[in-house]
Amino acid sequence: MLSNFTVIGGKASEDLAKKIAVKLKAKYLKSELRIFPDGESKITISGKPKNGKIVVVQSTYPPVDSNLIQALSLVSKIRKYSSQVYAVIPYLGYARQDKEFLPGEVITMSLVANMFKAAGASKIIIVDIHSKMALNHFKIPAKNVSAISELVKYFKKLKLKDPLVISPDIGGITRARDFAKLFGTKFIALRKQRDRKTGNVVIKSANQKQVKGRDLILVDDMISTGGSIVKAAEFLKKQKCKNIYAACTHALLIGDAEKRIRKAGVSKIVSTNTIPGRTSVVDVSPVISKAIV
């Protein structure tokens, strides 16, 4: 028997939305998307939602602004059917712009948070948001869901040699610690420095003797240009580690990031279906569904 949920999949997250609908025993409605020659998105929902809670699923990976406006459009349409509108934005673009790093910068995360409220979302669910600080910008209940447990399940199936978990930066310590704890191994964190103007990354860590001969899992929330993972992998290779694996929730893999990461010595990139792609082998529908009910 179906529950009183309806799940609506935005074009950026159709497969994940279908999986969530199955788990919630919900009615599934798809959305039709037409992009006009000037770039405007026109969205139509196929069918009518049930009375009850309605879940919109749409990640806002590139094209970020188009996917964002589509998510907001779906939420605003659905608000006419129900007062309980859950916006599930598995990958939330703009989450890294959560504070004024340099004078004069706009905190776009705050604007995005306000837009979801204005569109009519009653709750927002995000997977591994870049920082908990970004959640504070929402004036509606906002929940962050961790994909770490699902990523760990995947890695447990690989036969790794004396594995060690690595965070490419100090900011990722909690994530690496959670991963290592569930995986049953130790972790270390590298010291990374990013030039706020150019975006260039350098690893400032001293030599790490404990990585020699071991399989390493670099754990991060996201891979965008690949700069962080490339620099970390190059550094770790010099320390004579064995294989390097990269685990992340959101693999944007902009441009030739995947190629550069492999060239730097990473044998496998493992990511989740918050962003569908060649590396998204881990399904986050179980953790999202749990957070919804």
| Beta carbon nearer to ligand R5P, 76 or 225 | 225
Using the rule CB under 6 A, is 82 a contact of ligand R5P? no
The binder of ligand R5P chosen from 171, 265, 276, 286 (CB under 6 A): 171
Question: What's phi and psi for 263, nearest 5 deg?
Answer: -65, -30
The binder of ligand R5P chosen from 41, 108, 225, 239 (CB under 6 A): 225
Buried b (16+ CB within 10 A) or exposed e, 74-93: bbbbbbebbebbbbbbbbbb
The DSSP element (H or E) to which 262 belongs, if any, is: helix 257-263
The pair of three-digit structure tokens given for residue 213, joined into one six-digit string: 């001969």
Using the rule CB under 6 A, is 93 a contact of ligand R5P? no
Residues annotated as catalytic (active site), given as ranges: 192
SS3 201: strand
CB of 108 to ligand R5P, least distance (A): 15
CB of 173 to ligand R5P, least distance (A): 11
Rounded CA-CA distance 128/77 in Å is 27
Q: Which stretch binds ligand R5P (CB under 6 A): 31-39, 53-61, 138-146, 216-224?
A: 216-224
Using the rule CB under 6 A, is 98 a contact of ligand R5P? no
What x-and-dash track marks residues 121-160 binding ligand R5P by CB under 6 A? ----------------------------------------
Rounded CA-CA distance 6/3 in Å is 8
Q: Which stretch binds ligand R5P (CB under 6 A): 46-54, 111-119, 225-233, 270-278?
A: 225-233
Closest to 216 measured CA to CA, from 264, 256, 252: 264
Which residues are CB-contacts of 238 (< 8 A; sequence separation ≥ 6)? none
Please give the residue ranges that form the binding site for ligand R5P (CB under 6 A). 168-169, 171-172, 201, 220-228
